Structure 1
Amino acid sequence: MRWLIYTLIPAALLLILLYRLWFDDTGLIASEKLQQEIEQLQQDNEVQQDQNDSLLAEVKDLKTGNEILEEKAREDLGLVRKGETFILFVDPAKK
């Protein structure tokens, strides 16, 4: 009877510890999942940082130069200079 107590109690404690090691909220599986989420968020941050950098460069150009203003006016607003001819090519409607 004593060997049963000396065997079952440590075995039960070992099983509890192993369960917590692997499957608990702070276990290895949860840690691996969190690590993957961190890596994904870091990649997303890098993409956002690249977009922010390009927008910042565009803002700098808009503040300092007239060339970018002229380019934006031509592309976005369709403006032309005096003496220029504006030609618009339209694709035929698809049926």
Structure 2
Amino acid sequence: MKIFAVILLAIIAVLGWQTYSGRNGILQYRETEQKLKAASSHTERLQRRNQALEDEISDLKQGNRVVEELARSELGMVKQDETFYRVIEKEDKPSPSK
């Protein structure tokens, strides 16, 4: 009877170990879950980036106005016979008390 109890205990221990750390066990499940979360967040970032690029391509296909706007803002281009003025706003400073 003692041998039977020892064998049964050994089988339960092996099965418990397999459930926790064996193939398709709890440890592997947690690791796969973490990898899935990382891949999902990376995919989300790439989808937002792709959407922004698609929007910009759509704008560029619409006409020269967008191209001109990009050239002016990113490259600082000025048309011929055009004068460039830079407006610097005043900072709000408290006026001195009289």
Q: Confirm or deny a common fold (TM above 0.5).
A: yes
Bigger drift between 28-37 and 46-55 goes to 28-37
Q: Which residue in 2 is equivalent to 1:21?
A: 19
Question: For 1:71, what is the secondary structure of its paired residue?
Answer: helix
Q: Which residue in 2 is equivalent to 1:57?
A: 55
1:20-70 CA distance string (max 9 Å, x none): 101124111220121121012111111110110010110111112222100
Within 2, Cα distance between the matches of 1:11 and 1:86?
87
Task: Percent identity, please.
Answer: 30
**Regions of 4+ moved over 6 Å:** none
Within 2, Cα distance between the matches of 1:59 and 1:26?
45
Compute the RMSD of aligned alpha carbons: 1.8
Q: Give the alignment's TM-score, normalised by structure 2.
A: 0.77
Q: Give the alignment's TM-score, normalised by structure 1.
A: 0.79
Equivalent positions of 1:1-95 (< 5 A) are 3-86=1-84
Question: For 1:44, what is the secondary structure of its paired residue?
Answer: helix
Q: Which runs of 5+ in 1 are unaligned?
A: 89-95
Question: For 2:82, what is the secondary structure of its paired residue?
Answer: coil
Equivalent residues, number:
87
Question: CA shift at 1:86, angstroms?
Answer: 3.4
